[in-house]
Amino acid sequence: MPQSPNPLIGWTVDRASITTVGHELQRPECILAEADGTLWTADARGGVMRIAPDGSQRLIAQTVDGGLGTDGSAERLLLNGTLPNGLAFDRHGNILIANFGTDAIELMTRDGHSRTLYTEIDGEPLGKTNFVLTDSRGRIWFTVTTRLRPWTRAINEKTPDGYVGLIDEKGIRIVADGFVGTNEIRLDARKEWLYVVESNARRISRLRVHADGSLSDREIFGPANLGGTPDGFAFDTYGNLWITLIMAERLVALTPERELLTLLDDGRPDKIAIYDQHFYAGTITPDLMRIAQGTVAPLMASLTFGGPDLKTVYLGSLLGTSLSCFRSPVAGLPLPHWRARVAA
């Protein structure tokens, strides 16, 4: 059990301390951090941007795509072309990509050579692939938000057709389904529970993990409605679960006791109220997706702990051109690739 006091109780992000990393990024939705200070972000041009510890950066593209365009149109942002979304390192240091545009799970080496791993499951198209996660055994967990076309229907219809899949020595299979807008997934420190973001239900669920990869005992973790649309999340070493609420432009945390804390609020209440009205009425359009965007990390989509002590928090976003970052009072929970690098 975590020791008290919880370092997040009574703490909020000091906006004056927020700095930025990177420049001219396009849709840096997901971020990977390495122990040597290197950052990797998803990029709308079809690949990843590598940001070195000295700040220099290089686009490593699978196929150089036009990106979002000068207008950053909502249609281009959400519906067209290759859109690398969730990222993870495999046990060899290659980059696994859940491509939200091609509906595939892909693998790319650090120099850009790529191949498609899966586009189907059980003889059917995967659907809208969203996120990938590797565990200490080298298994690949992934999520599919929906199988509806266009996928934005799932926001209005609140369709429970999202699922969690697993890729291991047995191949690819669905291990849990019936989620309402499946997004990011994370394992807790003991690997006992898999936590699942259900964006369109505005909640976090979790399932008990068994040795063979099967899942059971599904339950809602925290409030049944977080008061905004959760997108990305990450654990810290105390056991707090940090969560981005993308359209509300808030960073919140659920304590081990399931208390909801607000750590950063960059929202515009009047615009959020308009978005929420359409969300619950089922009348969301692509243009409404950016109506309430903030200034810190516009359409705040994810967070990653990095820095030598894992106390630097980087915020991913859909409309930002750099990564906002700040210091945390508690370290993030190391991911498998971080432990492997430090041990080496």
Contacts 24+ apart (CB under 8 A), 309-313: 310/237, 310/334, 310/338, 312/33, 313/242
| Predicted pLDDT of residue 57 | 97
Q: Determine contact, residues 134/91, Cβ cutoff 8 Å.
A: yes
Is 108 inside a domain boundary?
yes
Is 44 inside a domain boundary?
yes
Confidence band (pLDDT; 50, 70, 90) for 343?
very low
Is 179 inside a domain boundary?
yes
Is 11 inside a domain boundary?
no
Is 225 inside a domain boundary?
yes
Domain that holds residue 256: 25-343
pLDDT digits (tens, 9 = 90+) for 262-307: 999 999 999 999 999 999 999 999 889 889 999 999 999 999 999 9
| Predicted pLDDT of residue 193 | 98
Burial class (CB in 10 A: 0-12, 13-18, 19+), 259: middle
Kindly report the CATH number assigned to the domain that includes residue 75: 2.120.10.30
Give the position of tokens 């790529």: 114
- Rounded Cα–Cα distance for residues 94 and 88 (Å): 8
Is 332 inside a domain boundary?
yes
Is 15 inside a domain boundary?
no
Percent with pLDDT over 90 in the chain: 85
pLDDT digits (tens, 9 = 90+) for 181-210: 999 999 999 999 999 999 999 999 999 999
- Rounded Cα–Cα distance for residues 244 and 266 (Å): 11
Is 14 inside a domain boundary?
no
| CA dihedral for 113, 115, 117, 119, sign (positive or negative) | positive
Number of domains in the chain: 1
Confidence band (pLDDT; 50, 70, 90) for 338?
confident
- Rounded Cα–Cα distance for residues 194 and 178 (Å): 15
pLDDT digits (tens, 9 = 90+) for 43-76: 998 889 999 999 999 999 875 444 444 344 444 4
